[in-house]
Amino acid sequence: MSQSAAKPSAFTPDVEVRSRSSRIGVIGAGMIVSEVQLAAYQEAGFEVTAIASRTPAHAAAVAERYGIPTVHETPEQLIADESVEILDIAYPPDLQPALVRLAFEQAHIKGILAQKPLALGLDEAIALRDEAAAAGKILSVNQNMRYDQSIRVLSQILERGELGAPVIATIEMRAIPHWQTFLAEYDRLTLSNMSVHHLDALRFLFGEPTEIYTAVRTDPRTEFEHTDGIVVSTLRFPNNVLAVSMEDVWAGPRQEGFDSDFYIKWRVEGTEGVAQGTVGWPTGEPSTLTYASAKTTDGKWVTPTWETHWFPHAFIGVMEQLQYAVETGEPPVLTVADNVKTVALVEAGYRSIAENRPVRLDEFPI
């Protein structure tokens, strides 16, 4: 692949922080909170005023690390804390809806950031959407892959039409997640907890799919009972756009001395160009993108660069868009109504697995 000396157009891989005005209370003290979310918030200058978790000692340790002034014994006590204006929930999805509903009842809580999946099923997600509207609360969902730098720049390239009409897109993950222990209690694994990133990103890039076909097999490494270990989903979009999302959570043997090759790669081909890149999470490196356009780069490959990472920097954008919505009264970028469409896509994938057929999204009125 030859590289052009031409400079790529100006892109914005990271968001501008427009608002730091809200006091945040965090529920959860696991790896994502302690290593990613709070690191992002600290870098952005966001004010985290309180924390709680299922294990108070964990919350206390994280509070000491980040200088969080208040540690509550229970999530319910944190939700009742009148100093909290935005509630940030990083909690198991079967327990999350009850906390969200409790937050709806608190006048001092202006916005809620829920983890994905929003709920374990579509009916519950729809109910939370409707209850948020009835309560007049801003409910947003942490679909952070939309803020990965390569996905943001790809979106900007597509919006400019530099690739022409999209033809086919792929997201290929070969990496081993750290499955949270509570997932062993559910009947849903990779599609609900890992594919949800990629399916939402494809919606973000190409709009609403019309159909999904999902094939699965068990993962040899995952010891608890499951069906959707390794997952491959094929999606159709309007204008005959085809997309494939693959989550290979096996990714080969993982043992001392074995030279594993973990990655997340994506590629989009259009009538006027091609873009491809990587998401840096498995390697700890910045995500990458390179593209060639018959319209804007004379068919030569150009490579925008940045120094920031998906983890943690994308989480700045997720919280910033909610703070900005609370401050201005404008809808958040990541609305719960939009996220219900991602939950519907996941639900359609599970129906496809169960019935071994392509499933149309209009089977799920939302």
Considering the chain, what is the average pLDDT of its residues? 96
User: From the CB of residue 147, how many other CB atoms can be counted at a distance below 10 Å?
Assistant: 24
- Cα dihedral 245, 248, 249, 254, rounded to 10, equals -150
Does residue 14 belong to any structural domain of this protein?
no
Does residue 235 belong to any structural domain of this protein?
yes
Mean pLDDT of 326-346: 98
The CATH number given to whatever domain includes residue 240 is: 3.30.360.10
The confidence band for 6, taking pLDDT boundaries of 50, 70 and 90, is very low
CA distances from 107 to 20, 40, 319 (A): 20, 27, 20
Examine the domain organization and report whether 139 and 150 are in the same domain.
Answer: no
Number of domains in the chain: 2
Examine the domain organization and report whether 127 and 245 are in the same domain.
Answer: no
Examine the domain organization and report whether 94 and 106 are in the same domain.
Answer: yes
Distance CA 236, CA 320 (A): 32
Peptide bond into 117 cis (omega under 30): yes
Residue 8 confidence (pLDDT) above 60: no
Task: Tokens for 59, please give them.
Answer: 């919350």
pLDDT, tens only, 77-120: 999 999 999 999 999 999 999 999 999 999 999 999 999 999 99
Identity (one letter) of the amino acid at 63? A
pLDDT at 5: 40
Examine the domain organization and report whether 150 and 294 are in the same domain.
Answer: yes
Task: Tokens for 84, please give them.
Answer: 């909290």
The CATH number given to whatever domain includes residue 66 is: 3.40.50.720
The confidence band for 2, taking pLDDT boundaries of 50, 70 and 90, is very low
CA distances from 44 to 37, 41, 62, 286, 320 (A): 11, 5, 18, 18, 9
Examine the domain organization and report whether 215 and 325 are in the same domain.
Answer: no
Q: Which of 299, 271, 9, 16 is nearest to 154 (CA)?
A: 9
Examine the domain organization and report whether 230 and 275 are in the same domain.
Answer: yes
Examine the domain organization and report whether 156 and 185 are in the same domain.
Answer: yes
pLDDT at 9: 64
Mean pLDDT of 341-352: 98
Contact 136, 204 (CB under 8 A): no
Examine the domain organization and report whether 70 and 81 are in the same domain.
Answer: yes
pLDDT at 256: 76
Does residue 98 belong to any structural domain of this protein?
yes
Distance CA 358, CA 360 (A): 7
Mean pLDDT of 142-151: 98
Examine the domain organization and report whether 115 and 193 are in the same domain.
Answer: no
pLDDT, tens only, 36-81: 999 999 999 999 999 999 999 999 999 999 999 999 999 999 999 9
Does residue 5 belong to any structural domain of this protein?
no
Examine the domain organization and report whether 175 and 140 are in the same domain.
Answer: no
Residue 4 confidence (pLDDT) above 50: no
Does residue 206 belong to any structural domain of this protein?
yes
pLDDT, tens only, 164-221: 999 999 999 999 998 999 999 999 999 999 999 999 999 999 999 999 999 999 999 9
pLDDT at 146: 98
Does residue 303 belong to any structural domain of this protein?
yes
Does residue 178 belong to any structural domain of this protein?
yes
Q: Indicate if the alpha-carbon torsion angle 141, 80, 181, 313 is positive or negative.
A: positive
The confidence band for 257, taking pLDDT boundaries of 50, 70 and 90, is confident
Examine the domain organization and report whether 285 and 150 are in the same domain.
Answer: yes
**Residues for the chain: how many in total?**
366
Examine the domain organization and report whether 127 and 211 are in the same domain.
Answer: no
Residue 345 confidence (pLDDT) above 50: yes
Does residue 15 belong to any structural domain of this protein?
no
pLDDT, tens only, 280-297: 988 889 999 999 999 999
The confidence band for 255, taking pLDDT boundaries of 50, 70 and 90, is confident
| Domain range for 68 | 23-144+317-333
Distance CA 200, CA 220 (A): 26
Contact 1, 301 (CB under 8 A): yes
CA distances from 17 to 156, 169, 240, 326 (A): 19, 31, 37, 14
Whole-prediction pTM: 0.95
